[in-house]
Structure 1
Amino acid sequence: MLALRKWFLSGLLVIVPLAITLWVLDWIIGTLDQTLWLLPTDWQQWLAQHRVRGLGVLLTLAVLLGVGAVASNFIGKRLLGWGDALVRRIPVVRSIYSSVKQVSDTLFSESGNAFRTAVLIEWPRPGVWTIAFVTGTPGGDVRNHLQGEYLGVYVPTTPNPTGGYFVMLRRTDCIELKMSVDEALKYIVSMGVVVPGGPEALAHA
């Protein structure tokens, strides 16, 4: 029975990650295949009849690369600037667009500083520690009400780091960790199972 239990658990450790990975990839490919509406109607009908999977991924990559190429030259930058100014004049839409653009510029810009540093903080009460990510420093009127040096910190939830809390803490209350953001995210998502540095780090802990 012990051997059967060991084999069963070993099988789960192999099958579950593989199955979840394949499911996520299938969902991504299926979602991106919805972009095929950009193609001519005749092409859409032919692809629907032949059930070509994954072409949406290639089409999405082509669109992204094309837009990026256009946006990188002088004329493209001018056109994007005019379009951006036009969208910002539309009520309601400008509020949503401005917020999303600020976040995307921070996260995806090559010069952005978001999620570049993992820190150890006491959360949600003194004596309880968790890993968080520095997003910047407080700005605007918030800065006028904080005495001392503060950091903006994102505290992710486990095992889904897309949800979490934004808090502002004193810099002295944040302990910078000697690990990359990727290592810290793996540590959080795995609920502490995947130790940064691998088994060697766990052996010396």
Structure 2
Amino acid sequence: MKKYLITGLLVWIPLVITVWVLRAIVSTLDQSLLLLPQAWQPNNLIGFKLWGLGTLITLLVVIATGVVASNFFGQRLVRTWESVLNRIPVVKQIYSSVKQVSDTLLGPGGQAFRKALLVQYPREGSWTIGFQTGTPGGELEQHLPTEVVSVYVPTTPNPTSGFFLMMARKDVVELEMSVDEALKFIISMGSVAPDAARN
């Protein structure tokens, strides 16, 4: 009986969690319809709510923005928009900080979370997986005695919390595994081993 219970849980738990996460994402993105004027909202136009319509419209707007911002005139428009925002006192600090982080994490030239590392943490002889997020610069670089890398060490099983460390490059081991494989290994608390067939 216990065997069948565990087997059933192994089938249902991933499915239920996947559906729950997708439902939460779609429900959140559907709230974007509330930005439309009351008369233009779909539930007023057609008389009932279409679940997922806000998500679809949000994705289309984001893709269209990406298409426009990728060409010459779109880039000029974005630069003009940013220069306007940078003249507004409080908005300037918030916008520039968020943009810098998003460019680092999501931009094609960003190095954050592009490389998995094997590091000794929290003490020598204890090993864990971290992610290289960049290299310290400016004043930090002047005070650090050796070449260092910025490392984010996530906690298990919730990788959204963790520790930021600056470690000597000679003390970290660059791994060939992908970031996805490393995250699976961390979230599963080491029970899902990375692909060992890599040669």
TM bracket, shorter-chain basis: over 0.9
What is the CA-CA distance between 1:43 and the residue it aligns to? 4.1
What is the CA-CA distance between 1:49 and the residue it aligns to? 3.7
What is the CA-CA distance between 1:162 and the residue it aligns to? 1.3
Unaligned runs of at least 5 residues, structure 1: none
Unaligned runs of at least 5 residues, structure 2: none
Task: Say if 2:84 is the partner of 1:86.
Answer: yes
- Structure 1 residues 47, 174: CA separation in 2 closer, same or farther (over 3 Å shift)? farther
Letter aligned with residue 24 of structure 2: W
Indicate the residue corresponding to 2:6 in structure 1: 9
Pick from 152, 155, 160: which aligns with 1:154? 152
What is the CA-CA distance between 1:108 and the residue it aligns to? 1.2
Task: Say if 2:33 is the partner of 1:41.
Answer: no
- Under a length normalisation based on structure 2, what TM-score does the superposition of the two structures give? 0.92
Which has the higher mean CA deviation after the structures are superposed, 106-115 or 9-18? Answer: 106-115
- Under a length normalisation based on structure 1, what TM-score does the superposition of the two structures give? 0.90
Give the Cα separation in 1 of the matches to 2:45 and 2:106. 33
Task: Say if 2:22 is the partner of 1:25.
Answer: yes
SS at match of 2:130: strand
**RMSD after superposition:** 1.8
Give the Cα separation in 2 of the matches to 1:22 and 1:47. 29
Q: Which runs of 4+ in 1 moved over 6 A?
A: none
What is the CA-CA distance between 1:38 and the residue it aligns to? 3.9
The aligned length equals 197
- Structure 1 residues 159, 49: CA separation in 2 closer, same or farther (over 3 Å shift)? farther
Give the Cα separation in 1 of the matches to 2:21 and 2:108. 27
SS at match of 1:19: helix
SS at match of 1:92: helix
